[in-house]
Structure 1
Amino acid sequence: MIGQNAGSPFPGLPDARITPLLLIAHADGERTDGLRRARLSLGLPEPIIVSYEQLLAGVPLHAAAEKAGLPTGTAPFIRLDAPGEHFGVERALIALGSPEHDDGDSLLPLRERRDPYRLSEKAALSLQEQPIRLMHPSQWFRGFCRLLDRIRGEALQAWPQARFWHDPADIATMFDKRACHRHLSAAGVKVPTLLAEPETLTGYEAVREAMLGKRIHRVFLKLAFGSGASGIIAYQINPKTGAEIATTTMGAEVYVQRPGIFYNSKKVRSLTDSESIRTLIGYLCGHGIHAERWIPKASLDGRPLDLRQLVAFGEAGHTVVRVGESPITNLHLRSQRVTPAASGLSDEVLTAAKNEALAVMRAFPASFSAGIDVLTERHTGQPYIADVNPFGDLLRRVLHDGLDPYAWEMQRWTESGGAEADTDTIGSLQGGTQE
């Protein structure tokens, strides 16, 4: 197959030296700039960039790619990057998730669920930016899955030989914590025990009943498609007194005659008021909740820690240890970054964490990288997978083999291409033709 190497350890993986990288991302931003610099540092051409805004405006993928410089008839290697941190894109995805665009939702996990407070396309497009507000997350995710399905279909129609860095169906599964937990568990990857099937967790009472019935008194409750600690509650109840504590960044403004406003304050606080906790848990259950046993984490100086492990093309690379001030350890919540050597974790525990992260990617054989959150049990060192982020390679100020994450990923792709490329093949692709 042209542009692909029989010697590659990944069958069908395009050769990095002769295959254009088509990047679907925000045209400007730290991620796109990082990928561009990484490729140039390795002597590779700049990526061909198609923006989410173009696709959401209705521009066909192949037309946008050729306008950006992809030679006609050349099958690219297609990488999608994170669609977040851009309100225009967020709003357009909510609009795409509206009832008017119902097209079967083939990539949407648990697609039989109805989104609460569904917005029409017109209402979605009239939304105004409110930076900390959780804005129709289930409808956003429905729209994102519809866009993934469209990208997959248009790519395979335009370039039947094209490959994806992350298979769009895998992105949808990784993004949905319920589906990802189910997928990893079936593959034998170690994940925290599920409290209950998400379909049964219909509200606050159902969550408490499941906890008391299974004697699981400490759980993590997660918005199924949240990121950056958005929509996470570390929740515990006293089985004797019924007293409860919810540690979270979430907050709410509740109204009598219209839907409440829910937001992510980016400040961790602990709630003991049952009515406030009921409101927040009800919101998660309405949009989609994932509930799992709270694993006691390893700690450093009494502070809980976990790891973000980057895996690409079958190898574990950059590791960032996050030491938290609370059970929620995301770095933007005042958590401290430390090196693995300074974490207090033994070499055996760190190796086990890397091996579990590698097992995650073996469970997604059609995708080539992810940032994987791994926690280690305080007493046994047993690793558990807490989250899988297909776009989790934005890791600042950390090197592996002397390379930043993007450069390391590009080098891994190059090395995974196997034998030397055939010069006749290079010439035919540069000429814009394909045999």
Structure 2
Amino acid sequence: MSRSASDPVPAGPPARFAVVANPENRRAALFADAVRAAGLPAPRIVPWERVLRSGGAEFAPDEIVRLDSPGENTDVDRLVRDMPDPTRVEGSARWYRRFVRAVRGLRGGVRLDDPGELAVLFDKRLCHAALAAADVPVPWSPTSGPDAVPVSGWDDVRAAMREHRMPRLFVKLAHGSSASGVLAVESSGRGRIRATTSVELAADGSLFNSLKVRRYEREQDIAAVVDALAPDGLHLERWLPKASQAGRAADLRVVVVAGRATHAVVRTSASPLTNLHLGGRRGDLDAVRDAVEAAGGRWTDVLAVCERAAACFPRTLCVGVDLLPAVGWRRFAVGEVNAFGDLLPRLTGLPGSGAEGLDTYAAQVTAALRHARPGTASAPSTGQWCLGRHADEEHHAQHPPCAEHHRHHQHRTGTTHVSA
């Protein structure tokens, strides 16, 4: 029988939550509000700064442990990147190593996030390869999978563009987030080239994150940016021409909780970068549904693509999937899967998702109480929440977890066709 967020929570002793977070951050406050709204005590907040300085943290066996983003805190950023200015782009490889080490140092409790899966989610090359191996549609990439090529600088990017006939591509930091270090590169047959990015190149060669999206049209400037990013690791993807809404490029952020697509928002932009903090705007989700159906597709199939992507990470309760609609709204590909992609304030659940009337945090609290609550039949014996054991069995029989799914499919990239 299918269960929804409105179903009764199993009886038992009151659940206790703990959150590894930056205490002052609104993410921690929003999740704490959701926990209290469920009639539970406020969660214990374990600061990231303490975890990083001490090399880990201990949790009681009955604590349900959530990890939240370590971002937007200058002291924490300095601990993980060793950069004097938090707006600097460089240092993401160091951030990745220290973040993964800190996560592996957390001990006890019932975890809603898995250290191994987080290590994949925060490496775009590994994440892309996992999705492609499971037959989840993704843009083609020369930097992931068994035939991945290293990229040590702009010369390698140029070579990949020629060899693989990629006049338009995205260059991404392997361990970046929030569009940091992302360049949308396009070239013409006449030798002209330009890159759209939020990276600001200083006179001394340093790179800074900016809220202003800019274009570089001199190849020497583009090369300088890419060469400075390369030591932290680069991921390349073919540029998928996206569908538009009201004349603006459009994509979707879909939040998947316990294997179900529960929340979705359309992001539109006049530039290739749709991130809301870079000038992107929320679009019309109803219009997207209408466009999909007018093209002969089904909205449920669109959401199923996101659920298949999330199923690649069965021991992580919640992920945010960036879904790229191709021109015409008939084909879709997964751009990225985000471990901390649930910050969508005041957005309530999709009709039929089981999270109607709930924001992303309330949906996660409800799912955690049902699937990971200590002392109930559905609680894991290993201290780790797992989709394959605790999520809606009826629903996921139709969309098997990634690890099982990829055994029966060949590695492929591209887009998936949704049809009636």
TM-score by length of 2: 0.79
1:16–1:404: structure 2 CA closer, same or farther, 3 Å change rule? farther
Contact 1:201–1:285, Cα closer than 8 Å, also in 2:
yes
1:77 counterpart residue number: 64
Q: Structure 1 residue aligned with 2:358, among 403, 423, 427?
A: 403
Q: CA RMSD in A?
A: 2.6
Question: 2:164 matched to 1:232?
Answer: no
2:389 counterpart residue number: none
Distance (Å, rounded) in 2 between the aligned partners of 1:212 and 1:60: 46
Matched residues, number:
358
2:317 counterpart residue number: 368
Distance (Å, rounded) in 1 between the aligned partners of 2:258 and 2:283: 25
Q: Structure 2 residue aligned with 1:90, among 77, 85, 91?
A: 77
For residues 35-434 of structure 1, what are the structure 2 equivalents within 5 Å? 35-58=31-54, 61-62=57-58, 65=59, 74-94=61-81, 124=82, 127-128=83-84, 130-151=85-106, 155=107, 159=108, 162-197=109-144, 199-238=149-188, 240-255=189-204, 260-343=205-288, 345-347=291-293, 348=297, 350-379=299-328, 381-400=330-349, 401-416=356-371
1:419–1:84: structure 2 CA closer, same or farther, 3 Å change rule? closer
Q: Secondary structure at the match of 1:320?
A: strand
Distance (Å, rounded) in 2 between the aligned partners of 1:15 and 1:364: 28
- State the 1:16 CA deviation: 8.8
Distance (Å, rounded) in 1 between the aligned partners of 2:372 and 2:228: 47
Distance (Å, rounded) in 1 between the aligned partners of 2:192 and 2:12: 57
Residue identity matched to 1:84: G
Q: Secondary structure at the match of 1:392?
A: coil
TM-score by length of 1: 0.77
- State the 1:168 CA deviation: 1.2
Listed one character per residue, the Cα deviations across residues 355-400 of structure 1 (whole Å, up to 9, x for unaligned) are 1110012111111110111111113521111111111111023111
- State the 1:166 CA deviation: 1.1
1:60–1:387: structure 2 CA closer, same or farther, 3 Å change rule? closer
Residue identity matched to 2:26: E
Residue identity matched to 1:181: H
Distance (Å, rounded) in 1 between the aligned partners of 2:300 and 2:280: 23
1:110 counterpart residue number: none
1:430 counterpart residue number: none
- State the 1:416 CA deviation: 3.9
Gaps of 5+ in 1: 1-6, 9-13, 95-123, 423-435
2:21 counterpart residue number: 25
Distance (Å, rounded) in 2 between the aligned partners of 1:208 and 1:303: 28
